[in-house]
């Protein structure tokens, strides 16, 4: 009876692990996940902020054991899944805003004072579409609405002048003491 218990115990099982093969497979999976995360980062650049850094397992350089490689792979897989989810949500947001803009252009009076920016549509640059009355208050009373497209980013010269003016005011502040 004792012989049967010893034979069936888990400690008696000796499983040979091909550590070299397992290490190579884990490194391959980590490399794949890192490339995929880099691709998602480049796709999201300027639209969604993604965490792309890979945290070091320890402070000193060394070869990771199998458990550490598995943890690294699992963390990367989780970050890739989070990045995909963030991109999917952003894509839904942009698609909804494209649909809003399409409806707004078709019927501006139904979307009074609604503004959609280029950033909301996933487009580069400045600018927005804004539903506003034609001819100011008279157009508002008469129901004459239109979608006006902004001209885009302010001129660089004007921005520089505003920054210089703000810096000049900061240096001219009264000193107490």
Contact between 128 and 115 (Cβ < 8 Å):
yes
Cα(first)–Cα(last) distance of the chain, in Å? 94
What is the per-residue pLDDT for 78?
Answer: 92
What is the per-residue pLDDT for 25?
Answer: 92
Contact between 101 and 121 (Cβ < 8 Å):
yes
3-class secondary structure, 117: strand
Q: How many CB atoms lie within 10 A of CB 106?
A: 10
Tell the residue number behind the tokens 């049967």, with chain if given: 4
Mean pLDDT for the chain overall: 80
What is the rounded CA–CA span in Å between residue 55 and residue 67?
Answer: 16
Give me the half-sphere count of Cα atoms (radius 13 Å) on the Cβ side of residue 162. Answer: 6
State mean pLDDT over 54-73: 80
Q: Which two tokens stand for residue 85?
A: 């989810």
What is the rounded CA–CA span in Å between residue 72 and residue 161?
Answer: 50
Percent above pLDDT 90 for the chain:
25
* Model pLDDT for residues 19-39, shown as the tens digit of each residue: 888 889 999 999 999 999 988
What is the per-residue pLDDT for 126?
Answer: 83
Please say if the pLDDT value at position 135 is more than 80: yes
Please say if the pLDDT value at position 175 is more than 60: no
What is the per-residue pLDDT for 96?
Answer: 95
Residues with Cβ within 8 Å of residue 103, at least 6 apart in sequence: 110, 111
Residues with Cβ within 8 Å of residue 156, at least 6 apart in sequence: none
3-class secondary structure, 45: coil
What is the rounded CA–CA span in Å between residue 177 and residue 175?
Answer: 7
> For the chain, which residues make up each domain, given as ranges?
19-54+66-106, 109-155
């Amino acid at each position: 009876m004792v012989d049967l218990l010893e034979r069936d115990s888990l400690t008696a099982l000796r499983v040979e692990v091909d550590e070299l093969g397992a290490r190579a497979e884990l490194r391959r999976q980590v490399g794949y996940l890192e490339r995929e995360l880099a691709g998602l980062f480049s796709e999201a650049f300027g639209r969604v902020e993604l965490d792309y850094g890979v945290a070091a397992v320890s402070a000193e350089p060394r070869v990771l054991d199998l458990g550490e490689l598995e943890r690294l792979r699992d963390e990367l897989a989780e970050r890739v899944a989070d990045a995909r989810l963030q991109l999917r949500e952003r894509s839904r947001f942009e698609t909804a805003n494209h649909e809003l803009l399409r409806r707004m252009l078709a019927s501006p009076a139904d979307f009074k004072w609604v503004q959609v920016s280029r950033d909301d549509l996933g487009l580069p640059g400045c600018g927005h579409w804004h539903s506003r009355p034609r001819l100011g208050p008279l157009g508002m009373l008469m129901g004459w609405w239109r979608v006006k497209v902004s001209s885009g980013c302010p001129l660089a010269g004007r921005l520089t002048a505003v920054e210089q003016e703000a810096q000049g005011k900061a240096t001219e502040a009264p000193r107490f003491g």
